[in-house]
């Protein structure tokens, strides 16, 4: 059994399933990619952590991290161990003191926790051989950030025009969106603020 380390390199709408997202994992030091379809809530949980957003109330994965920290449980790494009928199976490899624990997890939840714990993500090499794809160097150069594309699409259909607002107004809107736990809106406002820098 050979473990290959991966990083999260993209999060986008799934082209194969509506109302779903795809998280794309990239081989560390390699060119292979592993796309995994996940649900909207899980994608949101990953995006919030990747963007270092601070919701007014903790999301489920934030709560799990706080509990682990409180009881001195470390998440050493996550391991994508099986692929059965298109479903990825993962394990959380945790440590408390000198003891190690292997906990079964949905892959989307494992990834949301990996971002919060800043721990490595590994996959069984046979899974990468079966479900992975080689990155196209030409495509890589013209790759559009899927989150920015989604933000642009949503902005076009939005009645609110954020590009006409001042930075302080946008900051107030961002705080309101976070307080209301409207993370999609918060992401759009955050992207507009990023474009201003």
In order of start, what are the domains of the chain with their CATH numbers?
Answer: 3-141 (3.10.690.10), 146-196 (no CATH)
pLDDT tens digits for range 10-66: 888 765 566 678 899 999 999 999 999 898 888 888 988 888 888 888 889 999 999
Position 97 scores a pLDDT of 95
Q: Is the pTM of this model over 0.75?
A: no
Kindly report the backbone phi and psi dihedral angles of residue 159, in degrees, each rounded to the nearest multiple of 5, phi listed first. -75, -25
Q: How far apart are CA 193 and CA 191, in angstroms?
A: 5
d(CA 82, CA 12): 23
Check residue 164 and report its DSSP letter: G
The mean pLDDT of 127-141, rounded to a whole number, is: 75
Of 3, 25, 33, 19, whose CA–CA distance to 108 is shortest?
25
Q: Which two tokens stand for residue 129?
A: 């051989």
| Model confidence at 185: pLDDT above 80 | no
Paired residues of 56 in beta bridges: none
Kindly indicate the confidence band of residue 163, based on its pLDDT and cuts at 50, 70 and 90: low
């Amino acid at each position: 059994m050979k473990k290959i380390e991966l990083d999260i390199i993209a999060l986008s709408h799934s082209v194969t399933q509506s109302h779903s997202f795809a998280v794309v994992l990239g081989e560390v030091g390699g060119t292979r990619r592993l796309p995994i379809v996940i649900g909207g809530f899980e994608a949101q949980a990953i995006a919030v952590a990747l963007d270092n957003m601070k919701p007014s109330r903790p999301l489920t994965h934030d709560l799990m991290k706080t509990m682990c920290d409180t009881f001195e449980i470390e998440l050493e790494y996550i391991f994508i161990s099986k692929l059965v009928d298109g479903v990825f199976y993962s394990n959380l490899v945790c440590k408390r003191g000198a003891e190690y624990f292997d906990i079964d997890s949905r892959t989307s939840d494992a990834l949301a926790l990996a971002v919060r714990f800043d721990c490595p993500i590994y996959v069984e090499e046979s899974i990468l051989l079966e479900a992975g794809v080689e990155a196209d160097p030409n495509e890589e150069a013209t790759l559009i950030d899927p989150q920015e594309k989604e933000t642009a699409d949503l902005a076009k259909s939005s009645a609110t025009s954020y590009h006409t607002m001042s930075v302080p107004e946008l900051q107030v809107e961002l705080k309101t969106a976070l307080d209301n736990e409207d993370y999609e809106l918060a992401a759009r406002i955050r992207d507009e603020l990023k474009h201003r820098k």
